[in-house]
Amino acid sequence: MTDQKNRVDYEQFIPRETGFIFKFIKKDNQFIHTFIEGKLIEKVGLCPKCVVGKSLFEFLPADQAMRKEAFYEKAWNGEHVNYEGSFGGIHYLAILNPVRQNGVTVEVIGSTIDITKEKTREKQVQQMEKLSVVGELAAGIAHEIRNPLTSLKGFAKIVKESVTDQALVPYLDIMLDEMDRINEIVNEFMFIAKPNENVNFQYINFHNLLKDCIHFMEPQANLKSIKIEFDSDMHIILNCDRNLMKQVLINLLQNAIEATEDSGHFIEVVLEEVVPDAIMVTITDKGCGISDSRSKKLFEPFYSTKEKGTGLGLITCKRIIDLHQGSIEIESKLGEGTTIKIFMPKNLKIDINPSQPKHLVG
Ligand SMILES: Nc1ncnc2c1ncn2[C@@H]1O[C@H](COP(=O)(O)OP(=O)(O)O)[C@@H](O)[C@H]1O
Ligand SMILES: [Mg+2]
């Protein structure tokens, strides 16, 4: 068989844009490649010249070469072998088929296809599954927790007000704080489980909403001598759920405050029109920043680097913004700070509660 002939044969089977085929033989106890073709070769950072006539150790890092050599050995012993791997950011699936003559392997034909997209999708599905587990949990127990919690909180407050032994007050304060925290987690759980429930779209002055949220967070910022700067007089009316958007802005401001050291730094909030039909809110802090490896995990449920964090803040924000057909972007540099950008459409045509009259609030 000539290489030209091989090309014709394999083109029918291998999607050349997304894969490559190769062959190898065993010579002097080493696997030597005799052929390789396909677009994926370059994408994974190889070239036919550096593969043909060479052993695995001549063009791959030693650990990868060793791993592959074990698969090659199996194939040479007559097995059909499948394995997955990644190289140069590409995930691939490889299949090795031994060609046997009179019970002896004379060469192995391998094919590799790019499965990066499938892998990404698989990850997304796993993410969704994780969320739906959270959802089921939430639906099942959130109400059960919230009701007794309300009585606990009420009674703890009464006890705090009437307690005669002042030494007990700090303990009651801790109890109340911890109950608030349970309440917060349960509420976030419930939203993640059923984001569409009780959504109330209204026309809202977004500038005022943003200002209210900043005012709300100011005492917390002041405790760390952080100033939140917001000067915009752009009054924009958006169709959105007031409480949910409040939750987003407060979550993001809270993260910015938590990331910033006590040193009189600024957090800058900007509201602007970006394209004719969208607005952008940016929240910029000069805090600890996020490393590249961590930034991939930010929207995963329960991912938190804080001792008391829930890891549900950003995913809740994303869900809320998705519900408003907007988007959220994070730009960050470790040690320098973080900018969160929220894009929201100006003319959102959603009306989840059509029975409710639309009116302007805020
Ligand atoms: N402005 C920010 N600066 C630095 N890190 C941030 C910022 N916002 C979010 N993060 C990182 O993202 C993680 C997840 O945030 P979030 O979902 O709000 O959960 P939590 O605040 O409960 O930890 C945080 O623990 C933190 O590591
Ligand atoms: Mg948070």
pLDDT in tens, 164-205: 999 999 999 999 998 988 888 787 777 766 667 778 899 999
pLDDT at position 147, please?
80
Give the range with max mean pLDDT: 56-70, 114-128, 138-152, 295-309. Answer: 56-70
- Judge whether 150 and 321 are in contact, CB under 8 Å: no
Of the residues 134, 295, 298, 310, which should be mutated to test ligand 1's pocket, given the most ligand atoms within 8 Å of the CB?
298
pLDDT at position 48, please?
92
What the block records as the tokens of 252 is 């993001």
Mean per-residue pLDDT, 86-108: 90
Q: SS3 of 300, please?
A: coil
> What is the number of the ligand 1 atom nearest to the C-alpha of 314?
17
Rounded to 10°, the helix 116-162/169-193 angle is 150
pLDDT at position 32, please?
97
pLDDT at 5 over 60: no
pLDDT at position 354, please?
46
CA 235 – CA 315 distance, rounded (Å) = 28
Averaged confidence pLDDT in the chain: 85
Q: What is the pLDDT of residues 196-247, one digit of tens each?
A: 777 889 999 999 999 999 998 998 899 899 999 998 878 889 999 998 999 8
Distance 26 CA to ligand 2 centre (A): 57
Percent of the chain with pLDDT over 70: 88
CA 268 – CA 137 distance, rounded (Å) = 37
pLDDT at position 98, please?
94
pLDDT at 271 over 90: yes
What the block records as the tokens of 216 is 């709300």
User: Tokens 């007000």 appear where?
Assistant: 161
pLDDT at 81 over 80: yes
Q: Tell me, what amino acid is at 5?
A: K
- DSSP bridge pairs for 90: 87
Domains and CATH numbers, the chain: 3-114 (3.30.450.20), 117-194 (1.10.287), 200-361 (3.30.565.10)
Ligand 1 and 298: CB distance under 6 A: yes
Q: What is the pLDDT of residues 276-321, one digit of tens each?
A: 889 999 999 999 999 988 888 898 878 889 887 888 899 889 989 9
- Judge whether 248 and 324 are in contact, CB under 8 Å: no
pLDDT at position 1, please?
43
- DSSP bridge pairs for 20: 112
pLDDT at 362 over 60: no
pLDDT at position 2, please?
44
- DSSP bridge pairs for 279: 273, 344
Of the residues 224, 302, 304, which should be mutated to test ligand 1's pocket, given the most ligand atoms within 8 Å of the CB?
304
- Judge whether 182 and 149 are in contact, CB under 8 Å: yes
pLDDT at position 139, please?
65
What the block records as the tokens of 288 is 């600890």
- Judge whether 90 and 74 are in contact, CB under 8 Å: no
In this prediction, residue 9 has a pLDDT band, given cuts at 50, 70 and 90, of low
> What is the number of the ligand 1 atom nearest to the C-alpha of 283?
1
Mean per-residue pLDDT, 91-112: 92
- DSSP bridge pairs for 230: 269
pLDDT at position 296, please?
84
Q: Which of 246, 127, 137, 245 is nearest to 194 (CA)?
A: 137
Conformational region of residue 4, where left means phi above 0, alpha means psi within -120 to 50, and beta covers everything else? alpha
pLDDT at position 69, please?
95
Ligand 1 and 113: CB distance under 6 A: no
CA 153 – CA 176 distance, rounded (Å) = 6
pLDDT at 12 over 80: no
pLDDT at position 16, please?
58
Q: SS3 of 137, please?
A: helix
Q: Which of 341, 321, 322, 323 is nearest to 331 (CA)?
A: 341
CA 60 – CA 71 distance, rounded (Å) = 15
pLDDT at position 357, please?
43
What the block records as the tokens of 102 is 């009179």
Q: Which is higher by pLDDT, 1 or 53?
A: 53
| CA angle, residues 24, 93, 56, in degrees to nearest 5 | 35
pLDDT at 142 over 90: no
